[in-house]
Homo-oligomer: A and B are copies of this chain.
Amino acid sequence: MPPPLTPALPAMPLKIAVAQINPTLGDLPANTNKILAAVEEARQFGAHVLVTPELALCGCPPEDLLLRPDFLATCDHALNSLAEKIEVFGDITLIVGHPATRDGACYNAASVLRPGSPPAVYQKMLLSEELNEYRYFSPGNAPLVVTIGGVACGIVIGADIDRETPARYARAAGAELLLVLAASPYHIGKPSERFRNLASRARENDLPAIYVNLVGGQDEFVFDGGSLAVDRSGELAARLPQFQEIQGSEISLAGWGERDANPNIVSRWGSLRSPQPTNSLSSNLCLEEEVWQALTLGIRDYVEKNRFPGALLGFSGGIDSALVLALAVDALGKERVRTVIMPSPYTSQMSLDDARAMTEALGTRHDEIGIEPVMRTFASLLAPHFSGLPADTSEENIQARARGMILMALSNKSGELVLNAGNKSEMAVGYCTLYGDMVGGLAVLTDIPKTMVYRLARYRNRREPGNAPIPENIINRPPSAELKPGQTDQDSLPPYEILDAIIKGYMEENKSATELINDGLSKEDVTKAIRLFHLAEYKRRQAPVGILVTRRGFGKNWRYPITNRWGYP
């Protein structure tokens, strides 16, 4: 515990505005305007300072754009233009996150822009592994403390709060308050992890702390906002809503210098136009709602930021595509979502009826295009080459691929984004057809195990009991790919409760087969699932980008080799 600070009471409470914004990657002019709008709003209610998230100026993560001098020059130019504007505003400090080059190295930086002073720059010390920052950034090694409204503010960035050092340095340099610019992607459990880290840094240093997180979808990542304030004892003072852009919420520091008078942060967060902030310890969303909002934001931002007119979905009448349809309608509105069912002779009447019922109730456009003519054409083309060979998955794959081709043709003609409905359980064991049901521009459920698919569907129906979007029959019937008569998923796979337990243990937690068997799973199921898991790597390599919601999903940071003889127990 460092010696207690006895700062002088500032002339008036320090008013801090928080810009929990959703920038678009690479759209520097739009992001600059968004930040300036937040500055303007913050000034209107008398804030001393506006804090943006990490890398808010360019969007996050810029990935290999950071290796380009021309991209970095664009960022410098935008920063300079912000600094000029702030000079004109004259009465507010802006702390903005951006990439910065210095002496040939690139840093994840925060610049303090205020009238009449040259910008002060902080360089992030602890780089994020999740966002692969070691590839791009050099770590900084010096704290930055700036006095704003009479209060010495220590600036740190994102993963800096994951360990002790950066906040300690700031405190040692005289900080009375920590301001954290963050771009922390969502996964289940992440919000409480962030809170714990922030609270630890506050307690260790006897400093209140404010954490401003980015919001928005960017390819596989969803940044969830949920910005935080904790007091010097590490107690939660306020939390902004998750998954919502909030440009100019205010927080005030009062009771300054009277360190025994708790709370030393009086929250008036959300006073402008955000919903009421919560001071519940973790999120006030249940797990399913949190994941639901992550997925809908991920869909919406992928569609909007890439300027698709809308989304298109192959609807089999099964639970996965029904869930994606419900998510897409929540994300985009029913006018911008449409479905097509592509029945084969193996498609049940029940599937057709369920699909019609759901789309009629939702009011979305629904088309039907039978694929039997395609199957017949391919069968006759391939007959000379397949003669004498037994039917196998080759024929099943033709059905899946005929559907993929139709979807892509419709999408090519209309410009609509094809949403893919494959779930994490299927992706893990390769229960999916490359170029067939694996087609699409965005894989909505790629990180949602089948058991969670059911939980999300039931949750969504519960949320509007009188107006449940997903027909109960879709939820209750046994899952089937309907690629041959009477087929169900469980003909080829262990039951999903078991499969999902194996996947979680083996893939997410790196448990060995032996450990899983000791956990009570059957040797047969474990052996089969692990074998399928490794065999499916080549399919995953060609999967569409998908939204991540767990700590370990099939995203860019999934780096298993395809060629590999290990792991076939």
Contact = CB atoms under 8 A, between A and B. Distances in A.
Contact of A67 (B24, B67, B397, B510): B510
A398 B377 CA distance: 14
A487 interface: no
Q: Which of A369, A381, A401, A561 has the most CB of B within 10 A?
A: A561
Contacts of A513: 70
Interface residues of A, number: 86
A43 B413 CA distance: 68
A261 interface: no
Interface in A504-561: 510-514, 538, 541-545, 556, 558-561
Given A405-B405, A541-B545, A385 B367 contact: yes
A25 B435 contact: no
A218 B561 contact: yes
A305 interface: yes
A393 interface: yes
Contacts of A401: 404-405, 408, 435
A117 interface: no
A280 interface: no
A369 B385 CA distance: 10
Interface in A369-384: 369-371, 373-374, 376-378, 380-382
B556 A545 contact: no
Given A67-B510, A369-B385, A378 B394 contact: no
Contacts of A132: 559
B385 A408 contact: no
Contacts of A410: 382, 385
Interface stretch (A58-66, A263-271, A458-466): A58-66
B397 A302 contact: no
Interface string A59-90: 00111110111110110000000000000000
B378 A405 contact: yes
Given A378-B409, A510-B70, A566-B74, A559 B556 contact: yes
B134 A566 contact: no
Interface string A23-66: 01111101000000000000000000000000000100111110
A459 to B, nearest CB: 28
A564 interface: yes
Contact of A381 (B58, B369, B563): B369
Contacts of A558: 64
A439 interface: yes
Q: Which of A74, A401, A513, A545 has the most CB of B within 10 A?
A: A401
A6 to B, nearest CB: 42
Nearest to A562: B219
A305 B545 contact: no
A129 interface: yes
B405 A435 contact: yes
Contact of A26 (B402, B545, B566): B566
Contacts of A333: none
A67 B508 CA distance: 11
A439 B376 CA distance: 22
A441 interface: yes
A392 interface: yes
A389 interface: yes
Contacts of A134: 134
A25 B63 contact: no
Given A62-B561, A377-B373, A561-B65, A71 B439 contact: no
A146 interface: no
Contacts of A367: 385
Contact of A392 (B24, B71, B412): B412
28 contacts: A24-B563, A25-B563, A25-B565, A30-B565, A65-B560, A65-B561, A70-B513, A70-B514, A74-B566, A129-B135, A134-B134, A135-B559, A219-B562, A305-B565, A367-B385, A378-B405, A385-B413, A386-B413, A397-B408, A397-B412, A401-B404, A401-B408, A401-B435, A434-B439, A541-B544, A542-B543, A542-B544, A556-B559
